[in-house]
Structure 1
Amino acid sequence: MAGRGEVSRAEEVLRGAYAAAERSCGAASPAALGYDDELAVVLANAGRLAEAEPLFRRALNSRRKALGPWHEDTLRSEHNLAVLLDNSGQREEAERAYREVHRGRCEVLGENHPKTVEATYNLAIFLAGPRQGCEAEAVELLTVAQRGLQAHFGYNDARTT
Structure 2
Amino acid sequence: LSKIHLHVKNQRKDFYHKLSLQIVKDYDFICLEDLSVKDFIGHLKKDSYFYEFRKMIEYKCELYGKKCFVIDRYFPSTKKCSNCGNVKSKILLSERIYKCDCCNLEMSRDLNAAINIKTAGMAGIAQHQKLVMAQAITIVEKPTPLGVGKFTIFLKRFLV
Calculate the TM-score normalised by the size of structure 1. 0.28
The structure with the largest alpha-carbon Rg is 2
Q: Which has the higher contact order (CA 8 A, sep 6+)?
A: 2
Calculate the TM-score normalised by the size of structure 2. 0.28
